[in-house]
Structure 1
Amino acid sequence: MPVNALVNIVVLAVMLASGAAAAPPPVTSQLATLRAHDLATDSVLLSYYPESTFETFGKSADRPVHKRAGDDLKGDAIAFVESHLKLGPDSVAFKSGYVNDIAKHAYLKQVIKGIPVANAVANVVFDKDGKVSAFGYSFVKPTTIPSTTPSINLQEAITRAESVVNGTYNQHPATLEFVAKQDNSVALAHVLQIENEHTGAWVEAFVDAHSGDVVHMTDFVAKSSYRALHITKQYPTQGFDTILDPQDLLSSRLGWHNDGRATTTITAGNNAVAYGGPQSLTTSQSSPILNFIYPQNPNQQPTTQANLDAARTNAFYVANVVHDFSYKYGFTEEAFNFQNNNFGYGGYGNDRVSISVQDPSGRNNAFFATPPDGQSGRMSMFLWDHSNPWRDGSLENSILIHEYTHGITNRMTGGGTGACLQTYESGGLGEGWSDAMAEWATHRDSSVPDFYVGQYVTNSASGIRRYPYSTNPYSTLRFLNEVHDIGEVWANILHNVYAALVKQRGFFPDARFNPTVFFGNVIFLRNFIDALAIQPCNPTFIQARNAWIQADINRYDGANYCILWGAFASRGLGVDAGNYQDDFNVPSGC
């Protein structure tokens, strides 16, 4: 089947029973509302996320204006949501928000009887004139509401969650919240974080405060199951470079080797720490000045000391480069990025990315765990045994960038919670964004060749995806049952969006350092980052597309409107696409 029919593919069979038994595939709308979690009790928990309604208002003169016309983002957002949804007072709580150069972003939760509803959320985008340019919400009208006084205490809830998840409570402060359920009720829940350092698991468990059952879960770990170092390169076979002073002091104010309190001479700083084994096992400078020159020997196992040092150095370099260019494009302190010291610019600090190189908890894989703003993102990079000697995932830049981008998309969608890419469809979007960012970083000129992921670690020309990302037709599957497969569809759509923008607007070779010029590759990443803050919690393909269109209107006054619509429509996401049926039409005037 041609690549054009890429939206008509998402029917998912969810494993709902233990062992080999499986329930019939759910209706396609469940891709946007459900996520299954395997439990230590040999059962499956099905988490529910109320479907988001998402409106974008373009640049028309009659778009909504909030009743309060001030600079109080919290008050303005609450007033708009209560008015727009006709809610009573004290029905909405402000969760987080920030202001960038083109918009104000507010993230909120529904409140019932003074208690927030964890998975009933909203986001409001105000333009420079104070008008609402986008609004998303997943509020609920429950038929039953339990007592707000818990029947079981927190310690009982912790014991139950640790047993069900097979992990340990990490002492992050627990909360008491409602959680909306699929049967249109809400449950009162103790909300706490459980980790397992041996498996890499890190979840937020919702324990019913009356029954003691685990009724909902947020998985902070994005798991990239692959079929399985200048930033524009992907593999060691392309040759290592000696890169002089790459830190961007406009994005990293203290440089890469200051942890926010003191100068370091190891692979640790304000943005990231790269280590192997305990976090204290970093790589030290190789000379009395900040040189990290450790040649990799591809003929020896990656666990040799020189190869381990080369891997830690490369992982540290890539994470800092992605921090620096994503910072310039909008992933800043107030937009919930990863830094120990936020220098008073907003957001929570003490959350640099920790990178476990040659992580012993797995093989042929890589994970990124994204807890809420203020807790460190955790990247787990594994060894791959598809060749002899084995190969190190920390020496394939596309995998490192893919993983870091999980942190960006999970933090920026939903206002820093790490909990708004949890459904199958939104999780698939997350995989697609990660591949698209990895591809963006490799481009050196205006050519847009086919893009592969994982060729080095798998020692395979085809890499780890079913097909390369391409502007040419190729066959694909109609029915997908896994988030990475869904992600391939979104990444290929974005590959074509990128190609269309570069064809029409040109290519700027220094895009990592200058996001202000009007070139196709710059416009692409601007819209990429801006749209994350605009879209609702757990977005669908359609909502993600609409957020891109609105992002371009907000920043570029819609100058690329028809280019974007043409690219999306060419891959089935036209104006009338919906219910997982393709449409190839563009708006009138395009």
Structure 2
Amino acid sequence: MVGESLESRARFFLEAKANLTRSCIEYHSGFALDGIEHAYLHQVHNGIPFVNAVANVAFKEFDDSVLSYGSSFVNPHKIAPSKPAFDVKSAIEIAEKMLDGDYNQRFRLAYLARPDNSAILVYAIHIRNEEANTFYEAFVDAHTGELASLTNFVAGMAYRVVPIQRASFAEGQEMIVNPEDLTASPYGWHENRTMMSAGTAGNNIVTHVGTSLLDGTSASFMDDEWKALIFDYPYSASAAATTDENLDAARVNAFYVGNIVHDLAWKYGFRPLTFNFQADTITDQWARGDDPINIRVQTTPGSNDATCTVPPDGTPSVCKLYVWNKSSPTRDVSLANDVLVHELGHGISGRLTGGGTAACLQTLEARGLGEGWSDALAEWTEQKSAVITDYVIGAWINNNPAGLRTYPYSTSAVTNPLRYSSVAGQTTHYPIGEVWANILHNVYAALVAMHGWSASAFTDPDTTHGNVVFLRLFFDGLSIQPCNPTFTAARDAWIQADLNRYGGSHKCLLWTAFASRGLGVNAGPGYIDDSTVPAGC
């Protein structure tokens, strides 16, 4: 094939590689640089290209050997007819109105592959607003006239937030671009198959001010005014939480944290079919939807609190975040990632325990375990290396370095003396939760000490690093434990989860960690400590 054009060589390679006919491939562009030739080809149906089904082939110049190949070609189970049922003039008018801009004298007819393995026919229309600095390619369904998707030429999604591995605003904000995980949130954070938003509302999370409620059943996420999705609101520590700028910063941070936790939990198995929170289930058509999490920022009346109401699968959860007056000026708990992740954790434990009923953490002991799981999840998100240090939750929002708990979570029995026997006599669930969270801190430390720590654990749940194994067992254990579990039942669920997923390879490590805080094999009624581990450990 030496001497053939780049287009011919690329077509020949792709036809053989992807088992496609020549009519299904359109050469788009190519170039040669530094001894390498690059070709880009689009998938085609009935002569109409797909805008997001692209293949790239790189050849070594002069000898035609293929150096690399990549493809997003699709095999849709359903393809819309190739003849539009909606005229382009009307489509342009729709795009101009929705995106608050003007037609930029460029459109094309194309197919758009969707995450549900279908392909729709669209008009791809350029819409620009010079004054607002926006420039989009709008994909308007050529059969229904609906705005199906967007490409933002100005920038991707950008949020000024407290990064998820930081406990609170005390560690600073950063501008983060495109943090969404498109496996967990295929349409991103502001869109699903039928809705889209330019504000802090989306398929997983809706953040809003005060007592207003937006749920996934009745609400459209389409705002009156579209702008570039850049949420740049610095939080001012020298101003009261209730100032407009700080309120915007709080709303954005809550939206970011909620979506990060959604995407993380999705990766580790908390999905529509396992009772998670999404307005549109997207790829899980048999699951219940209509239940994003509503986060109410600066809820009134009230102060110095954060709560999360978790109803059964199919009903939106509501998290209420309040202004805290433990300092002057006041602070917003929406900028306290540790407390916010804790609250979102209640949605995970409440839904996974008992199969989505949200009614299986009702006894005093089970409610205490729920508090412990939430603290453990918050701590997990803030780990930054394999070095395990004592953990304090709520230090910034409570304006106290000791945070909100009696002791720091620690592997030291001097720093934190809580044991299984510490549950005896407790009459509220919070101190019970501290016991369980501290036991899980010791489990986490043991796993990381043995297997190391992965910096990619948020997006890659398939390694054998200690922090990944911990979160796998965390989620798996919730799914298999009984309704209204006890400490011993929750412990046994972790042991069984390890057997189910890892063949019991961490059995002795887990038992040793549990037993170190009194939750050994013979830990029994009356919260009597036991340090026994199984034979062979």
TM-score (structure 1 length as normaliser): 0.60
Q: Identify the match of residue 427 of structure 1 among 361, 367, 386.
A: 367
Q: Give yes or no for the alignment of 1:257 onto 2:190.
A: yes
Instruction: Supply the distance in 2 between the matched residues of 1:523 and 1:588 (Cα, whole angstroms).
Output: 23
For the residue of structure 1 that corresponds to 2:349, the secondary structure is: helix
Q: Identify the match of residue 469 of structure 2 among 523, 546, 549.
A: 523
Deviations, residues 354-394 of structure 1 (Å, cap 9, x unaligned): 00000104211111111110000110011111111111111
The Cα of 1:285 is off from its aligned counterpart by 12
Q: Percent identity?
A: 49
Give the corresponding residue for 2:47: none
For the residue of structure 1 that corresponds to 2:231, the secondary structure is: coil
Q: Identify the match of residue 581 of structure 1 among 511, 515, 528.
A: 528
Q: Identify the match of residue 500 of structure 2 among 542, 547, 554.
A: 554
Q: Identify the match of residue 173 of structure 2 among 226, 240, 248.
A: 240
List structure 1 runs of 4+ shifted beyond 4 angstroms.
280-287
State the aligned residue count.
Answer: 362
Q: State whether residues 498 and 521 of structure 1, in contact with CA within 8 Å, keep that contact through their aligned partners in structure 2.
A: yes
Q: Identify the match of residue 377 of structure 2 among 433, 437, 454.
A: 437
Q: State whether residues 198 and 225 of structure 2, in contact with CA within 8 Å, keep that contact through their aligned partners in structure 1.
A: no
Aligned partner of 1:399: which letter? V
For the residue of structure 2 that corresponds to 1:456, the secondary structure is: coil
Change (3 A) 1:247 1:583: same
Q: How does 1:257-296 map to 2 (within 5 A)?
A: 257-277=190-210, 278-279=212-213, 288-296=227-235
Give the corresponding residue for 2:515: 569
Change (3 A) 1:298 1:543: same
Rg: which structure is higher? 2
The Cα of 1:453 is off from its aligned counterpart by 0.9
Aligned partner of 1:557: which letter? G
Deviations, residues 250-281 of structure 1 (Å, cap 9, x unaligned): 00011000155222100000001001022469
Q: How does 1:351-362 map to 2 (within 5 A)?
A: 351-362=291-302
Bigger relative contact order, structure 1 or 2 (CA pairs below 8 A, ≥6 apart): 1
Aligned CA RMSD, in angstroms, stands at: 1.9
Give the corresponding residue for 1:339: 278
Aligned partner of 1:587: which letter? P
Q: How does 1:46-65 map to 2 (within 5 A)?
A: none
Deviations, residues 208-236 of structure 1 (Å, cap 9, x unaligned): xxxxxxxxxxxxxxxxxxxxx11000111
Instruction: Supply the distance in 1 between the matched residues of 2:227 and 2:292 (Cα, whole angstroms).
Output: 26
Instruction: Supply the distance in 1 between the matched residues of 2:260 and 2:267 (Cα, whole angstroms).
Output: 11
Q: State whether residues 197 and 222 of structure 2, in contact with CA within 8 Å, keep that contact through their aligned partners in structure 1.
A: no
Change (3 A) 1:296 1:287: farther
Instruction: Supply the distance in 2 between the matched residues of 1:300 and 1:260 (Cα, whole angstroms).
Output: 40
For the residue of structure 2 that corresponds to 1:356, the secondary structure is: strand
Q: State whether residues 260 and 270 of structure 1, in contact with CA within 8 Å, keep that contact through their aligned partners in structure 2.
A: no
Aligned partner of 2:313: which letter? D
> Structure 1: where are the runs of 5+ without partners?
1-228
The Cα of 1:288 is off from its aligned counterpart by 3.2
Q: State whether residues 165 and 381 of structure 2, in contact with CA within 8 Å, keep that contact through their aligned partners in structure 1.
A: yes
Q: Identify the match of residue 458 of structure 1 among 389, 398, 401.
A: 398
Give the corresponding residue for 1:297: 236
Q: How does 1:353-392 map to 2 (within 5 A)?
A: 353-392=293-332
Q: State whether residues 168 and 337 of structure 2, in contact with CA within 8 Å, keep that contact through their aligned partners in structure 1.
A: yes
Deviations, residues 175-197 of structure 1 (Å, cap 9, x unaligned): xxxxxxxxxxxxxxxxxxxxxxx
Deviations, residues 40-76 of structure 1 (Å, cap 9, x unaligned): xxxxxxxxxxxxxxxxxxxxxxxxxxxxxxxxxxxxx
Instruction: Supply the distance in 1 between the matched residues of 2:502 and 2:280 (Cα, whole angstroms).
Output: 32
Deviations, residues 274-306 of structure 1 (Å, cap 9, x unaligned): 010224699999993111110111111111110
Q: Identify the match of residue 545 of structure 1 among 491, 501, 515.
A: 491
Q: How does 1:295-334 map to 2 (within 5 A)?
A: 295-334=234-273
TM-score (structure 2 length as normaliser): 0.66
Instruction: Supply the distance in 2 between the matched residues of 1:349 and 1:585 (Cα, whole angstroms).
Output: 45
For the residue of structure 2 that corresponds to 1:524, the secondary structure is: helix
Aligned partner of 1:528: which letter? F
Aligned partner of 1:340: which letter? A
Q: State whether residues 328 and 515 of structure 1, in contact with CA within 8 Å, keep that contact through their aligned partners in structure 2.
A: yes
Q: Identify the match of residue 456 of structure 2 among 510, 522, 543.
A: 510
Change (3 A) 1:388 1:287: farther
Q: State whether residues 195 and 222 of structure 2, in contact with CA within 8 Å, keep that contact through their aligned partners in structure 1.
A: no
Q: State whether residues 286 and 293 of structure 1, in contact with CA within 8 Å, keep that contact through their aligned partners in structure 2.
A: no
Deviates more, 1:478-487 or 1:434-443: 478-487
Instruction: Supply the distance in 2 between the matched residues of 1:312 and 1:284 (Cα, whole angstroms).
Output: 16
Q: Identify the match of residue 532 of structure 1 among 470, 478, 488.
A: 478
Q: State whether residues 347 and 373 of structure 1, in contact with CA within 8 Å, keep that contact through their aligned partners in structure 2.
A: no
Q: State whether residues 352 and 377 of structure 1, in contact with CA within 8 Å, keep that contact through their aligned partners in structure 2.
A: yes
Q: State whether residues 247 and 320 of structure 1, in contact with CA within 8 Å, keep that contact through their aligned partners in structure 2.
A: yes
Instruction: Supply the distance in 2 between the matched residues of 1:284 and 1:307 (Cα, whole angstroms).
Output: 22
Give the corresponding residue for 1:56: none
Q: State whether residues 285 and 291 of structure 1, in contact with CA within 8 Å, keep that contact through their aligned partners in structure 2.
A: no
Change (3 A) 1:334 1:543: same
Instruction: Supply the distance in 1 between the matched residues of 2:332 and 2:193 (Cα, whole angstroms).
Output: 29
Change (3 A) 1:500 1:283: farther
Q: State whether residues 267 and 284 of structure 1, in contact with CA within 8 Å, keep that contact through their aligned partners in structure 2.
A: no
Aligned partner of 2:430: which letter? H
For the residue of structure 2 that corresponds to 1:432, the secondary structure is: helix
Change (3 A) 1:290 1:384: same
Q: State whether residues 275 and 283 of structure 1, in contact with CA within 8 Å, keep that contact through their aligned partners in structure 2.
A: no
Instruction: Supply the distance in 2 between the matched residues of 1:287 and 1:511 (Cα, whole angstroms).
Output: 34
Give the corresponding residue for 1:108: none
Q: State whether residues 570 and 584 of structure 1, in contact with CA within 8 Å, keep that contact through their aligned partners in structure 2.
A: yes
Instruction: Supply the distance in 2 between the matched residues of 1:311 and 1:411 (Cα, whole angstroms).
Output: 26
Instruction: Supply the distance in 2 between the matched residues of 1:285 and 1:407 (Cα, whole angstroms).
Output: 31
Q: State whether residues 439 and 514 of structure 2, in contact with CA within 8 Å, keep that contact through their aligned partners in structure 1.
A: yes
Q: State whether residues 350 and 374 of structure 1, in contact with CA within 8 Å, keep that contact through their aligned partners in structure 2.
A: yes
Deviations, residues 432-484 of structure 1 (Å, cap 9, x unaligned): 00000000000111011111111111110101100000011134556322101
The Cα of 1:243 is off from its aligned counterpart by 0.6
The Cα of 1:503 is off from its aligned counterpart by 0.3
Q: State whether residues 271 and 323 of structure 1, in contact with CA within 8 Å, keep that contact through their aligned partners in structure 2.
A: yes
Q: State whether residues 266 and 285 of structure 1, in contact with CA within 8 Å, keep that contact through their aligned partners in structure 2.
A: no
Q: State whether residues 368 and 404 of structure 1, in contact with CA within 8 Å, keep that contact through their aligned partners in structure 2.
A: yes
Instruction: Supply the distance in 1 between the matched residues of 2:395 and 2:193 (Cα, whole angstroms).
Output: 37
